[in-house]
Amino acid sequence: MNARIRSALSVLLLSLPLVLSPPAGLAQARKNHIDIVNDSGGNVLQMMQRRNELARSGKTIRIRGYCRSACTMLITLPNACLGPRARIGFHAPRIPNTTIIPPYVDQIMGSTYRGEIKQRWFAGWNRSMEMQVISAREYVRLDPQTRICPSLTKKGRKKG
């Protein structure tokens, strides 16, 4: 198989999950909130657009399960909160199937972070090929402006 066909197949295979499944937030929209569940990230520029749409939604954005890569850009939305058992993963942005870190993309991602999360991002997470995973509670410790979703804690749930 020549290189051009292999390259086209790689792009097609990488695109299939995006085409076949609706965006996590839109798939799980509720009356007062939008759940983002087990989001592995994706294209940084598309995530920035999604971030802007979610900010204008007027709904609480609940980030649950795992949130990796570009998904982490959503955590600092003013209307976002983390599920108490969420796991957040950071790694260098890169061109798919390579270790090439495109210029400026880490700057775009870093512009959405705050506090010690931002410090750690620019101190090395933005160049790491290994996923740096932290818990929701650790994230809040590093960025106290972030909150745990009250509706997802035992205290916040209604009985019955």
Give per-residue pLDDT as tens, 80-116.
Answer: 999 999 999 999 999 999 999 999 999 999 999 999 9
Look up residue 96 and give its amino acid. P
Look up residue 84 and give its amino acid. P
Architecture of domain 22-152: Alpha-Beta Complex (3.90)
Residue-wise burial string across 118-134, b where 16 or more C-beta atoms lie within 10 A, e elsewhere: bebbeeebbeeeeeeeb
Rounded-to-integer distance, Cα 106 and Cα 110, Å? 6
Domain edges within the chain: 22-152
Give per-residue pLDDT as tens, 40-55.
Answer: 999 999 999 999 999 9
